[in-house]
Every structure is written in structure tokens, then in C-alpha cells.
Amino acid sequence: MSRHKNRNPRPVVAIVASAALLMSVAAYANEACLLTPQQLQTLTGRTFAEGQASRNPGDGSPLCHYAEQTNPQRKLTIGVSSTNAKQQFDSRLRMLQMGGKSIELEGVGDRAYYNGTAAGVLAGSKLIAISNLRRASDPKIESDKVIAALRAALQKQ
């Protein structure tokens, strides 16, 4: 007779379940935290803390908030959506475009935009959107830096 016949399997099940939960939390945290604080500093000229993952309360899509180190209430946010991505992209493009000047970017994803404060890229069935890139009083961010950041975010997907 085996010495382990009367062992309770529950602790093993609990350990396996805990490990699975930790792996899913780690994956969840990485879904929208697509850029490092260093990449954001290169993009904006400002310093940021590590990204904090959350979910959009409306549709559950992943978000990542990066607090500015000199002003922690000011946050840059990256959102990733795979629900109606093309429709969301088109809606944001219409909403953000002011006047007759195009805000579409070339050379990244299927389509992309940058209006000076927000950027986004559509790639297949995913939309990656970056909001609060800068305030109107901040120095302008050149579109080539935005394209590089959007490409880097796409590579992490």
C-alpha cells in the first residue's frame, strides 16, 4: 500500500489554481502596458512611473496608466481594443480631427492618427490608442516620434 494513499489533493489543486491566476494577472498587466517609461520619455520628454494595468469599465478592454513622475495626477493612458476596432478607429478619427487638416499617419499599422494630444493605430482587428500625450502648453511632439512609439507598441502585441 502506498504511503500517500490518504493524502488530501486539495492543497495541490489550490497551488495550481493560484499559479494559473498569477499567470493570467501577469498577462492581463501586459495587454496594454506596451511601452516602457523610457520609451515614453523619449516620446514626450517627460518622465513616467511604470504602467498600472486596469480595465475600461465600459467594455472591459485593457488599459495601462502611466503617472508622470513630477505630477502623478497627470497620466498618459494606452488602451487596447479588439471589439469593433475599425469602427472605434473611424469614430476617434472623426472626433479628433478639427478643421480640414488630416491627422492620419502613414507607415504604421493599417491606419493611424495623431492629432497633437492623442494617437492611435489600427492593425488587423486591434486598436491601440494613446491619450494624454501632451497638453496644449507642452512642446509639440513630432509625428516621427509618435510613429516610432506606435510601431514599438505594435511589436509587443
Nearest CA among 4, 73, 65 for reference residue 40: 65
**pLDDT band with cut points at 50, 70 and 90 for residue 16:** very low
Which of the 8 DSSP states describes residue 139? P
| 25 pLDDT more than 90 | no
- C-alpha torsion 61→83→116→144, nearest 10: 100
Q: What is the mean pLDDT of residues 67-86?
A: 96
| Confidence at residue 14, expressed as pLDDT on a 0 to 100 scale | 42
Residue 123, φ and ψ in degrees, nearest 5 = -140, 105
Provide the percentage of residues in the chain whose pLDDT is more than 90: 71
Q: Write down the pTM of the prediction.
A: 0.80
| 12 pLDDT more than 70 | no
Burial class from Cβ neighbours inside 10 Å (0-12, 13-18, 19+) for residue 139 reads exposed
> What distance in Å separates the CA atoms of residue 42 and residue 130, rounded to the nearest whole number?
15
Residues 6+ apart with CB under 8 A from 3: none
> What distance in Å separates the CA atoms of residue 76 and residue 65, rounded to the nearest whole number?
6
| Confidence at residue 15, expressed as pLDDT on a 0 to 100 scale | 45
Provide the percentage of residues in the chain whose pLDDT is more than 70: 81
pLDDT tens digits, 36-60: 999 999 999 999 999 999 999 988 9
Q: What is the mean pLDDT of residues 102-127?
A: 96
| Confidence at residue 99, expressed as pLDDT on a 0 to 100 scale | 75
Task: Decide: 95 and 131 in contact? Cβ < 8 Å.
Answer: no
| Confidence at residue 44, expressed as pLDDT on a 0 to 100 scale | 96
Q: In the beta sheet, which residues pair with residue 65?
A: 52, 77
